[in-house]
Amino acid sequence: MTTENIRTYDVIVIGAGPVGENVAERTRAAGLSTVIVESELAGGECSYWACEPSKALLRPALLRADAAHVPGLARAVQGPLDTEAVLAHRDRMSADWNDDGQAEWIESVGIDLLRGHGRLAGEREVSVETLGGDTVRLRARYAVAVCTGSRAALPPLRTTGDLRPWTSREATSARKAPRRLVVVGAGVVGVEMATAWQALGSRVTLLARDEGLLPRMEPFAGELVTERLREAGADVRFRVSAVAAERTPGGEVRITLSDGAEVVADEVLFATGRVPRTEDVGLAAVGLAPGDWLGTDDSLTVTAVPGNWLYAAGDVNNRALFTHQGKYQARIAGAVIAARARGEALDTGRWARHSATADLDAVPGVVFTDPEVATVGLTVREAERTGRAVDVVDHEIGSLAGALQYRPDYKGRARILIDRERRVVVGATFAGPGVAELLYSATVAITGEVPVDRLWHAVPAFPTISEVWLRLLETRRDS
């Protein structure tokens, strides 16, 4: 039997992932009563099927790759990884897919958690179908924030029978390593999971429809990752895509490729992009099309809905599909909601706390492959496309003493893009072992618009990989 009751809050948040939790924490800290609606696990995709489990799978593989090239350690790390131990570590980092800890935190900061499927039901209204079959009607005095994230997009291809393909969720939560794994897609998810499962004992075939891996990044990054994947035993193929797939009665997956070849595997992972989780959140009730991205302005307010009450933060708005950027947006959205609730005018200048700019100009991202790839701001291709005049400065990281201390055969490359008129860094890409830790300095340089002449006074310690900054600046002056 279904019953209905009405509850009123200042703020309603749909989605209890990291983004929704941050919006709710900010509004609650501002004194606004807040409820989060969640249909799955509190903690969201990042905690259970993305950031945490994927990095738990990758860390042992990358650490072994580094150790295998350090004098005195190579012999100690010969042989395969202990796959069972790695998967057990992955399970711990994913809290065994139990969200009790997250639910306790939500309660501890004074936020209500309502478990069920939430749908917009009109202006400032949300209808929740609870797990028990009841319907709860929520009304917001000030704001509703949609933070439902994204899900894997499956490519259009001919399939036969019950294919049961992997997406990022299955790839990060699998209970054992498949003997043969085909990865379709050469973006971040594809190359990271190819790296992880190849190291855990799978024979990986990676299919890229473009001419290289990581096509949105600088070409040299994909080239270095390709080289290491092939050295590890992966079959990396370019300019090819899957056009048909079937799972045989014996359990094998047979994949027909665009070049006419066929690949046989035990599992196939489709890592071919993301789509917003908005197909069933009640968008039609507020005049929007189900399944669409939710476009926002820099205050994270949904622009197509009048009244400044509907917000969208995280993947769902398609601004920057990274957990850290979603949490950044959440902090902005929470501040905006609180300011509007107090009747304050928003200071939405470029550096205002009510205006999201870092998810447009300086989006940092790390690909945890061997070698690592770290990037922020523009690439050369993006600068050319937007007509930005830039100086491109490259340096081989392996020439640094700090890099040779890291690995005697260190191979890596750094690139920065300098705006010719303003003389500030507008883009940076690093590829090589351990370069993820270089990224924050690059992000600060870009967001802070630090003149390159002033960067000379930021002295890197010796011997560290961060000395590449000094070499890049020297190369720029000598060129």
Average the pLDDT over 442-465 and give the result.
95
Supply the angle between the helices 51-67 and 83-93 in degrees, to the nearest 10.
140
DSSP H helical segments within 140-199, as ranges? 168-173, 188-199
Task: Write the DSSP symbol of residue 344.
Answer: P
Q: Does the pLDDT at position 276 exceed 60?
A: yes
Q: Does the pLDDT at position 315 exceed 90?
A: yes
Residue reference for tokens 């990358």? 62
Angstrom CA distances, 235 to 226, 310, 368, stand at: 10, 47, 19
Average the pLDDT over 417-425 and give the result.
96
Sequence-distant (6+) residues with CB within 8 A of 215 are 186, 187, 208, 222
Considering the domain delimited by 371-478, tell me its CATH architecture. 2-Layer Sandwich (3.30)
Residue 351's pLDDT band, with cuts at 50, 70 and 90, is confident
pLDDT at 347: 84
DSSP string over 285-321? GGT--TT----B-TT-BBTTSTTS-EEE-SGGG-S--
Burial of 244 (0-12, 13-18, 19+ CB in 10 A): middle
The sign of the CA dihedral 397, 402, 404, 405 is negative
- Nearest-Å Rg of the Cα atoms of the chain is 24
Closest CA to 392 of 373, 418, 424: 418
pLDDT by residue (tens digit) across 39-92?
A: 999 999 999 999 999 999 999 999 999 999 999 998 888 888 999 999 999 999
| pTM for this prediction | 0.94
Instruction: Say how many C-beta atoms besides its own lie within 10 A of residue 421's C-beta.
Output: 8
* Tokens encoding 313: 């933060």
Average the pLDDT over 297-314 and give the result.
97
Residue 1's pLDDT band, with cuts at 50, 70 and 90, is very low
Considering the domain delimited by 158-272, tell me its CATH architecture. 3-Layer(bba) Sandwich (3.50)
The residue ranges of every structural domain in the chain are: 4-43+99-151+276-358, 158-272, 371-478
* Tokens encoding 445: 């340089």
d(CA 17, CA 147): 8
With pLDDT > 90 as the criterion, what percentage of the chain qualifies? Answer: 90
DSSP string over 66-130? HHTTSTTTGGGG-S---HHHHHHHHHHHTGGG--HHHHHHHHHTT-EEEEEEEEEEETTEEEEEE
Q: Which residue has the higher pLDDT, 351 or 175?
A: 175
Average the pLDDT over 223-228 and give the result.
98
pLDDT at 386: 93
Residue 479's pLDDT band, with cuts at 50, 70 and 90, is low
Q: Does the pLDDT at position 2 exceed 60?
A: no
pLDDT by residue (tens digit) across 132-157?
A: 899 999 999 999 999 999 999 999 89
The sign of the CA dihedral 18, 54, 64, 194 is negative
Sequence-distant (6+) residues with CB within 8 A of 322 are 363, 364, 365
d(CA 348, CA 340): 13
Q: Do domains 4-43+99-151+276-358 and 158-272 have the same CATH topology?
A: yes
Average the pLDDT over 349-366 and give the result.
87
Q: Does the pLDDT at position 211 exceed 50?
A: yes
Assign a CATH topology to domain 4-43+99-151+276-358: FAD/NAD(P)-binding domain (3.50.50)
SS3 10: strand
Amino acid at 103: A
Q: Does the pLDDT at position 15 exceed 70?
A: yes
Average the pLDDT over 319-329 and give the result.
96
Name the helix (H) or strand (E) containing 383: helix 380-386
Average the pLDDT over 355-373 and give the result.
93
d(CA 228, CA 194): 11
Least confident residue range of 1-5, 283-287, 370-374, 379-383: 1-5
Mean pLDDT estimate for the chain: 95
Q: Does the pLDDT at position 96 exceed 80?
A: yes
pLDDT by residue (tens digit) across 285-297?
A: 999 999 999 999 9
Residue 311's pLDDT band, with cuts at 50, 70 and 90, is very high
Sequence-distant (6+) residues with CB within 8 A of 257 are 207, 240, 241, 242, 243, 263
Q: Which residue has the higher pLDDT, 15 or 350?
A: 15
